[in-house]
Amino acid sequence: MITDAIIKDVFQQYKTIAVYGMSTKEDKPAHYVPAFLLGKGYAIIPVNASAETILKVPPYPCLRDIPGRIDVLLVFRPSAQVLDVVREALERRTERGDIAVIWLQDGIYNEEAGKLAEQAGIIVIQDRCMMHEFTRLMSP
């Protein structure tokens, strides 16, 4: 069970967020949520195979291509695609030992993927907006 204390700890402990499916379109949550987090001091790593730059940062086509450490994987993909994303994250975790948290944005949920990640020792937060949770729990 994900509690407010766990979510608050995620925000306090983990500072590098890879955003799978990050958008170049400013009016989409897959753009403005990571932009909000960037403004709060988090390092944002876009994962998007078709964009040249997002928020002045070059995106990576997949998780394995990201050279640095990933603390949180924030996912903006349809629920039906989440299992493949989690499998990719688990491969990276096995190779690099990172990705402590997988966060599925508001409206995204996949029970099988969640169980698979949890079995690997990853904190899984599903169907919650990272921006709203930050505002609710971390704003004065």
Task: Give the model's pLDDT for residue 100.
Answer: 98
**Structure token pair of residue 23:** 């958008």
First to last CA, the chain: 25
Task: Report the C-alpha gap between 108 and 78 in whole angstroms.
Answer: 6
Q: What is the CATH number of the domain that holds 71?
A: 3.40.50.720
Each residue's pLDDT, cut to its tens digit, for the chain (140 residues) gives: 899 999 999 999 999 999 999 999 999 999 999 999 999 999 999 999 899 999 999 999 999 999 999 999 999 999 999 999 999 999 999 999 999 999 999 999 999 999 999 999 999 999 999 999 999 999 87
Q: Rounded to two decimals, what is the model's pTM?
A: 0.96
Q: Which residue has the tokens 């086509």?
A: 61
Q: Which of 17, 52, 57, 20 is nearest to 37 (CA)?
A: 17
- What's residue 139's pLDDT? 83
- Its domain, for residue 42, covers 4-138
Instruction: Look at the chain and report how many structural domains it folds into.
Output: 1
For residue 127, report the phi and psi dihedrals to the nearest 5 degrees: 55, 45
User: What Å distances lie between residue 118 and 3, 75, 138, CA to CA?
Assistant: 15, 16, 25
